[in-house]
């Protein structure tokens, strides 16, 4: 039950500081309907979880707060990337099971490329007054590289990976769809590829809590 303690840890005022509600409304209205057509019972709740954890880390991790103050991290860019990070999965499982880890791995690079293009087009078309060209290209970059685990270097790149991982592990928001065998492979990748690349203390602490709950339930 420890995970529940995190679920209402920011208020509306804090959220408005991170990203304008009108921007968020456009992202949700455009991306959410497509996520329902992606990985069944996963892409939409997972993305909502990733956005939640991204906001949590932006508000509660002291190191990340300092990076925001120093303008190394841009909350609007990070939250937008969180919304769009798996958008590219739409239509990729029309003839294949989206519950198969192997099928997902085969489509990872393509979904990042497609998602990067889709969010860039959306921002230029509907939110060009709310984002600078540099910000749009950064969002696009983060979506393009968020699963390239061995290539992540910057705080922004690591932050999107951390939020994505927490969103994968949050069983209070997402019902796991993997088979037992695939679940074991998934956890192995979390322990060996993702957690060693975690950098920020708050993310590490939450990951430990979520992993405990994930393994207890499954």
What does the alpha-carbon distance between residue 134 and residue 60 come to, in Å, rounded to a whole number? Answer: 26
Distance CA 145, CA 152 (A): 8
CATH number of the domain to which 155 belongs: 1.10.3210.10
| The pTM of the whole model exceeds 0.75 | yes
Judge whether residue 197 has pLDDT over 90: yes
Average pLDDT over residues 159-182: 90
Q: Which residue has the tokens 């920020």?
A: 200
**Domain total in the chain:** 1
Alpha carbon distances (Å) from 89 to 17, 68, 118, 142, 175: 30, 30, 11, 16, 18
Structural domain of residue 187, as residue ranges?
A: 2-217
Phi/psi at 196 (5° precision): -65, -20
Express each pLDDT in 90-127 by its tens digit: 887 776 666 677 887 878 898 999 999 999 999 999 99
For the segment 153-158, the average pLDDT, to the nearest whole number, is: 97
Would you state the pLDDT for residue 60?
94
The pLDDT, as a whole number, for residue 166 is: 97
As a whole number of angstroms, the distance between CA 98 and CA 111 comes to: 13
d(CA 129, CA 123): 9
């Amino acid at each position: 039950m420890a995970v529940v303690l995190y679920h209402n840890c920011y208020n509306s005022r804090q959220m408005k500081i991170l990203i304008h509600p009108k921007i968020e409304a456009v992202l949700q209205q455009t991306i959410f309907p497509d996520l329902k057509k992606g990985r069944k019972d996963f892409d939409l709740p997972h993305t909502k979880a990733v956005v939640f954890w991204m906001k949590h880390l932006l508000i509660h991790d002291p190191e990340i707060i300092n990076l925001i103050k120093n303008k190394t991290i841009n909350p609007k860019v990070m939250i937008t990337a969180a919304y769009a990070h798996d958008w590219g999965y739409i239509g990729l499982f029309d003839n294949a099971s989206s519950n198969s880890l192997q099928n997902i791995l085969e489509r990872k690079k393509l979904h990042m490329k497609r998602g990067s293009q889709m969010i860039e087009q959306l921002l230029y078309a509907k939110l060009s007054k709310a984002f600078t060209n540099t910000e749009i290209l950064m969002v696009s970059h983060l979506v393009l590289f968020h699963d390239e685990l061995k290539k992540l270097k910057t705080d922004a790149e690591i932050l999107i990976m951390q939020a994505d991982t927490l969103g994968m592990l949050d069983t209070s928001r997402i019902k796991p769809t993997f088979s037992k065998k695939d679940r074991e492979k998934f956890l192995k990748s979390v322990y060996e590829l993702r957690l060693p690349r975690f950098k920020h203390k708050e993310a590490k602490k939450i990951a430990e809590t979520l992993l405990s709950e994930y393994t207890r339930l499954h």
